Amino acid sequence: MNVLLAVSGGIAAYKSAELVRLLRKQGAAVRVVMTRSAMEFVRPLTFQALSGNPVHSELLDADEENAMGHITLARWADLMIIAPATANIIAKCSHGLTDDLLTTLYLAATCPVYIAPAMNQAMWNKAVTQENIQKLKSYGVTVIGPGQGDQACGETGFGRMSEPVEISQRLLGKPIAQCLQGLKVLISAGPTREPLDPVRYLTNRSSGKMGYALAGAALNAGAQVTLVSGPVQLAAPLNIEVIGVETAAQMYAAVISKAPEYDIYIGAAAVADYSPAAAQSEKIKKQAEQIALTLQKTRDILAEVAQLEHRPFTVGFAAETHNLEQYAQDKLARKNLDMIAANWVGRDLGGFESDQNALQVFWENGRSTLAMTDKNQLSAQLISLIAERLYEKRQLKT
Ligand code: PMT
């Protein structure tokens, strides 16, 4: 994983040195870009020594342009993190202003971009800063923090840069330790089988890998986990309760009876949308040249969970071959979900059966892009996002 760390000028810049160390410890290659004012706080030599690479700072440096111009640097990155992100840098990025290397790289980057804001609490609370943050979020930028507490200026409130350990966990998919401690998570996984007769059924390509990886990530994050699983060839992680089902109707019954006792429901299963109106009790004989099947719509488990009086935080998946965002946003609104994780299916990499996947995650007024990686890492990232949104929703209610 190639991480481009962009450091802007705030007192929290010293924390970014620790971030480099943590990212490298977890196997990432790190290149650092600094603004001029960042260099007032921390010497580039510190980042050079920790990252093992020269620090970039000048947009128009002839040597750097030869070695690695801003476009090459932007292309090199698998993800970009601006930490600390000052109010000034946030304002510039949200308006597309590019008057230095850092902001130019932000505009040139096609990889997922994260920012970790750090500023005085009054500056953070200013309407214009909040508008700029919302704008960046709507462009797909993931905002990490800021945290609350004592600030270098002597004030107290929101504006402290998140701790390096939290940022590195968010970036590299390690779950925030115990972020689901004390919570109960219900997950559906795998395909369903809809019988045509005693020996045949309709099914789909789901292997269960995504749902099982999510169950493992939720367990690692401290949750008590139950998996409602269609027929798959996977062993469940230890300490997870597994309820095996076969048909969409059985999955519906298992999920609906359990869901009110759970804090979170994640529908990762590929549930049949239609099942044969009547399964034959005897094997269908090969006689006619053509036969017609009458299919009946199944009950929508996800939509019904979201309608329960005691509904869990409800997360759906959307598997699409085209119009990914449009269909996912439609499902999010129509099924009244808290969050939806959309993935492409029917392509070479990701989706059904693959060990890897990428997700575009949407919620009301927010989104995040989780880049292609193995399903275990991806699940840890999704679990972190779910925990963050759940706590935000609960805070709003109290
Ligand atoms: O199992 P893998 O091989 O690892 O593949 C992973 C996956 C591609 C199956 C997974 O990432 C995924 O996309 N799961 C959802 C597949 C799906 O059925 O998507 P959908 O867009 O058709 O359905 C939308 C949502 O409604 C899903 O959360 C689904 O679980 C739910 N649903 C659908 C029909 C139904 N009757 N009841 C439901 O709850």
Can you tell me the distance from the alpha carbon of 36 to that of 352, in angstroms, rounded to the nearest whole number? 47
Whether 192 shows a pLDDT value over 60: the answer reads yes
Q: Helices (DSSP H) in the chain: which residue ranges?
A: 13-25, 38-41, 44-51, 62-68, 70-76, 87-95, 101-108, 121-125, 127-138, 164-172, 209-220, 248-258, 301-307, 324-334, 375-397
Q: Write down the residue that tokens 């797909």 correspond to.
A: 140
| Binding residue ranges for CTP | 273, 283, 317, 331, 335
- What confidence tens digit (pLDDT) does each residue in 293-328 have? 999 999 999 999 999 999 999 999 999 999 999 999
Residue 18 CA to residue 13 CA, distance in Å, equals 10
Q: For residue 77, what are the contacts with CB-CB under 8 A and spacing of at least 6?
A: 2, 3, 4, 31, 109, 111
Nearest-atom index, ligand 1, CA of 268: 14
Q: Is the CB of 210 under 6 A from ligand 1?
A: yes
- Whether the CA torsion 43, 47, 52, 53 is positive or negative: it is negative
Q: Is 194 in the pocket of ligand 1 (CB under 6 A)?
A: no
Ligand 1: residue of 188, 206, 347 to mutate (most ligand atoms within 8 A of CB) is 206
- Domains of the chain: which residue ranges? 2-172, 184-275+292-397
What number of residues does the chain have?
398
What residues act catalytically?
A: 153
Mean per-residue pLDDT, 261-288 = 96
The span from the first CA to the last CA of the chain, in angstroms, equals 39
Regarding the beta carbon of 5 and ligand 1, being less than 6 Å apart is answered no
Q: Helix, strand, or coil here: 112?
A: coil
CATH architecture of 184-275+292-397: 3-Layer(aba) Sandwich (3.40)
Looking at CATH, the fold of the domain delimited by 2-172 is given as Rossmann fold (3.40.50)
Contacts of 396 (CB under 8 A, 6+ apart): none
**Lowest-confidence segment of 95-104, 299-308, 387-396 by average pLDDT:** 387-396
Give pLDDT tens digits for 36-83: 999 999 999 999 999 999 999 987 765 654 555 777 888 899 999 999
**Same fold for the domain at 2-172 and the one at 184-275+292-397?**
yes
Query: How many whole angstroms separate alpha carbon 298 and alpha carbon 203?
Result: 13
